[in-house]
Chains A and B, each alone.
Chain A
């Protein structure tokens, strides 16, 4: 387990040092969103990569957190630091309640059901205009502030967001390498055998679904306070698919893979500015290519590719 700690430490250092090496600018702003997306991708990976349960509606939980935080702080003037955990609690309870019936479903049916759930949530955001502002969105959401510091610049938001994200990454890595992590993977590989080993598969699935939703809600709250404006468009079906793509590209069942996927999919569109309309094709193409040729994601596929290349170059040496 020491290895895992070292990995995390190196990752954390990389993240914490990056802005200093960058000297501000637009890239820093994008990296803030990499942070949010990493948190979301890790949350989805716990459910999808570890427990093996498909969810195509995760943008919904993200949106719920964002709107709850946005509405309660902007419209009702509540304290953002109180609202954030409150929103997470509400989303958690909702996820738990819906988790029990929805996780009885498997495979395609679960995928469709979560898709439907996500879309219902999106429609609610659009229709409850009095609270959410409807399609035009909700603005005037306050920045977070702590101990006299207001998080209103890219630099400060970077550290705020990534502070939370690093915590989520650490907890997830711990979880993945623990008894519960093994139980999750067991349920994924063979639910019947896991149950025979005494794992309460049903309960575990709901627990991880709830945890995943809570993390998404947290990300949503942070998102709302960072950009001070939310609209339903960010929380629809398209974003759920984007998250799925991040997780698949990075590598299912790999926490750091989720960072890779999130980073790639957040940065790429920025570099392909001109090709903005093409990004939807790229996601679709990437998803398909990944599943066909690198089902383990980049995190496993790239090292394997290197291994194959080195083997061909006359292999004495590392395996």
Chain B
């Protein structure tokens, strides 16, 4: 499972998305109302636990975390193999 797929699955489950196809990989999670600021912390905890990452305070920005695509790119930059831990 790719990071994209896994993050998507988490968001669908954790933010009770009825119709996953409506959630676009490039869409802003905050602007789209999918994830609020508390939800973003839930997302960060998920990334740390799932990928063994330590996300520094300075990295916790909307630029890194506000869409499924952005998250995948961020995780990739952090050096995680896309196919790992699936």
Asked if A and B are interacting partners, one says no
Chain A positions near chain B (C-beta within 8 angstroms): none
